[in-house]
Amino acid sequence: MDTTGHCTASADKNCKHDRGENGCAECGIRPISVCGSLELSELEEFVRISQIASFTPKTMLFEQGAPAGSVFNVTDGVVRLYKSLPDGRRQIMGFALPGDFLGLALMDLYGVTAEAVTKVRVCRFARPAFLTFVDDKPHLLRRLHEFAGHELSLAQDQMLLLGRKTAEEKVAAFLINMQARYARLSPSSVTVPLPMSRQDIADYLGLTIETVSRTLTKLAREKIILVVPDGVRLLSSERLDHLTAT
Amino acid sequence: MDTTGHCTASADKNCKHDRGENGCAECGIRPISVCGSLELSELEEFVRISQIASFTPKTMLFEQGAPAGSVFNVTDGVVRLYKSLPDGRRQIMGFALPGDFLGLALMDLYGVTAEAVTKVRVCRFARPAFLTFVDDKPHLLRRLHEFAGHELSLAQDQMLLLGRKTAEEKVAAFLINMQARYARLSPSSVTVPLPMSRQDIADYLGLTIETVSRTLTKLAREKIILVVPDGVRLLSSERLDHLTAT
DNA sequence: CGACTGATTGAACCAGCTCAACTCATGTGG
DNA sequence: CCACATGAGTTGAGCTGGTTCAATCAGTCG
């Protein structure tokens, strides 16, 4: 394992979303990924240009401003995407979960920094090979564009949140949102995992760590949520929903 | 002219960015628009599925949540794109200038509301016809995707601004940004036009109208800008740049 | 000219921040 | 096994940047 924390040949067999010996065909997250638009025949070539990589927590997948050498499909774990100001202030743009694609914009330089929050597994594609592959598959480009449109829509929701919502509304919206995203991945467990730190949540919501903590405590005091290690249980999604201001 | 404020056959001849009798060929903003990727031969079909429309200030082009019947290419004027909360709080996602495309995401419903700030002229395309047109032009889809990637990148910059910048940094960044955008459209006039109201600026930056006003006054007092009717003159882009926090 | 709309300015207030103490795991080594 | 760092999270108390509320100013239009 090298210093960047990735290792191309790790075999973590208890990972649920991962392709087996037969390539992508039995990959758990393919239907919800960009690769869901590929024919089985195309998948063969796709798997040939891909590489499995994994990253340990807190290691960097790529850095803001660096040449975009690869694009990634997250198959397991959580990745934080952020931008920083010179003085250290940080804004997290989002948390990528399994099925999410990193490098959608296909631009020359990475626009954000990506770091593993948990152990992360990805399919990695060298950008030139990926671009060549896309070039004669309009349906894949169409799918990428759909994903980009969805991302843009989420970014706009986040702008509304950052610019106009109160701390309580921000935290409530975050919890509801994480619940919905995890529900899509695994049959609705009662507990919403929050593998990221309070600082990460704060930097995602444009708040401080103290305000996040206080707000969670307040919601717990009102029996709307229950704070558990590395997550929360939503006791009343109903009431939480009322707090999100749509 | 109907109640929505658009009129399909208005002939405003002193509009500089507008196609003449020969269709798109002589359109001033084509090189910087999505249609810049089309061959002259394709433009012929493109112009056939398009319709010129204009909107008077404060009229709506389309509304958040409505079925996306059309997509638009702004040829003249300024459009504000925003989302609202039920209680009236508003976040402006951006101001579209000539060359900008509305409806990039190609989704079924509009994600934002679009309103004319100034008199606005657009090329309008019925979405079904546009989608059909795109379907066998991968280079146009590619161009749309590039635009979407750019939009996404701008949205991320705006998230950083909304979540982590001070009022002064927000206003400074806004002015620098508008200057750069107008510079691309017209050979750098010294004055940056600000056709939108202070309320619009506030709702774009996640501030109140009073804070925007005070901040502009402060910058003017420090001789960094000069506030003029419907715009500002940047007296020291240098110093303004230092205030933007990258 | 008055009336209206948008912008500026002033003054009091407060949501969320800052600073600081404390709690609670988890880990380390003597 | 305990003493004791170490780091994440919580809680408290006071502060402040930006908001709120309110007045005033400056165009513009009938």
What domains lie within chain A, and their CATH numbers?
A: 23-159 (2.60.120.10), 166-245 (1.10.10.10)
Q: Give, in order, the Cα–Cα distances in Å from B29 to each of A18, A98, B72, B185.
A: 47, 40, 13, 8
Helix, strand, coil proportions of chain A in percent (round to 5)? Answer: 40, 25, 35
Torsion of CA A60, A64, A70, A74, to 10 degrees: 50
Sign of the Cα torsion B231, B233, B234, B240 reads negative
Measured from Cα to the C1' atom, the residue closest to D11 is A214
Cα three-residue angle B163-A63-A102, rounded to 5 degrees: 80
Show the low-confidence residues of chain B (pLDDT under 70).
Answer: 1-22
Per-residue model confidence (pLDDT) at position B20: 55
Per-residue model confidence (pLDDT) at position B19: 62
Q: Locate B203 and state its tokens.
A: 């709702």
Per-residue model confidence (pLDDT) at position B2: 40
Residues on chain A touching B141 (C-beta within 8 angstroms):
138, 141-142, 145
Per-residue model confidence (pLDDT) at position B13: 40
The set of long-range contacts for A131-138, using a CB threshold of 8 Å and a minimum separation of 24, is: A131/A106, A133/A45, A133/A46, A133/A49, A135/B138, A137/A38, A137/A42, A138/B135, A138/B138, A138/B141
Helix pair angle (B138-164, B127-135), 10° resolution: 120
Alpha helix locations (H) across chain A?
40-49, 127-135, 138-164, 167-185, 198-205, 209-221, 237-242
Is some CB atom of chain B closer than 8 A to the CB atom of A112? yes
Distance from C-alpha of B246 to C-alpha of B243, rounded to nearest angstrom: 8
Residue at A14: amino acid letter? N
Show the low-confidence residues of chain A (pLDDT under 50).
Answer: 1-16
Locate tokens 């040449």: which residue? A67
- Chain B nearest CA to A20, separation (Å): 32
Q: Locate B6 and state its tokens.
A: 């658009």
Residues contacting A201, CB < 8 A, separation 6+: A171, A174, A194, A207, A212
Per-residue model confidence (pLDDT) at position B25: 80
Of A153, A203, A246, the CB nearest to B111: A153
User: CB–CB of A148 and B152 under 8 A?
Assistant: yes
Evaluate whether B76 touches B119 at the Cβ level (below 8 Å). yes
Q: Give, in order, the Cα–Cα distances in Å from A171 to each of A28, A109, B109.
A: 30, 32, 27
Residues 71-90, chain B: which have Cβ within 8 Å of A? 83, 85-87, 89-90
Residues contacting B30, CB < 8 A, separation 6+: B24, B36
Is there contact between B198 and strand D, defined as CB under 7 Å from any strand atom? no
Distance from C-alpha of A230 to C-alpha of A219, rounded to nearest angstrom: 16
Q: Locate A32 and state its tokens.
A: 């919800």
* Ramachandran category for residue B168: left, alpha or beta (phi over 0 → left; psi -120 to 50 → alpha): alpha
Evaluate whether B1 touches B54 at the Cβ level (below 8 Å). no
User: CB–CB of A91 and B159 under 8 A?
Assistant: yes
Per-residue model confidence (pLDDT) at position A18: 55
Per-residue model confidence (pLDDT) at position A19: 61
* pTM score of the predicted model: 0.94
- Burial class of residue A30, CB neighbours in 10 A (0-12, 13-18, 19+): buried
Evaluate whether B122 touches B75 at the Cβ level (below 8 Å). yes
Per-residue model confidence (pLDDT) at position A1: 36
Pairing of strands A231-234, B79-84: unpaired
Chain C nucleotides with an atom closer than 7 Å to a protein C-beta: 6-11, 15-20, 26
Rounded to 5 degrees, φ, ψ at B234 are -85, 110
Q: What's chain B look like in SS3? A: CCCCCEECCCCCCCCCCCCECCEHHHCCCHHHCHHHHCCHHHHHHHHHHEEEEEECCCCEEECCCCECCEEEEEEECCEEEEEECCCCCEEEEEEECCCCEECCCCCCECCCEEEECCCEEEEEEEHHHHHHHHHCCHHHHHHHHHHHHHHHHHHHHHHHHHHHCCHHHHHHHHHHHHHHHHHHHCCCCCEEECCCCHHHHHHHHCCCHHHHHHHHHHHHHCCCEEEECCEEEECCHHHHHHHCCC
Residues contacting B203, CB < 8 A, separation 6+: A163, B82, B90, B91, B92
User: CB–CB of A105 and B138 under 8 A?
Assistant: no
Is there contact between A209 and strand D, defined as CB under 7 Å from any strand atom? yes
Q: What are the beta bridge partners of residue A52?
A: A123
For residue A246, give the nearest of B159, B108, B89 by alpha carbon: B89
Is some CB atom of chain B closer than 8 A to the CB atom of A137? no
Per-residue model confidence (pLDDT) at position A20: 55
Distance from C-alpha of A230 to C-alpha of A196, rounded to nearest angstrom: 8
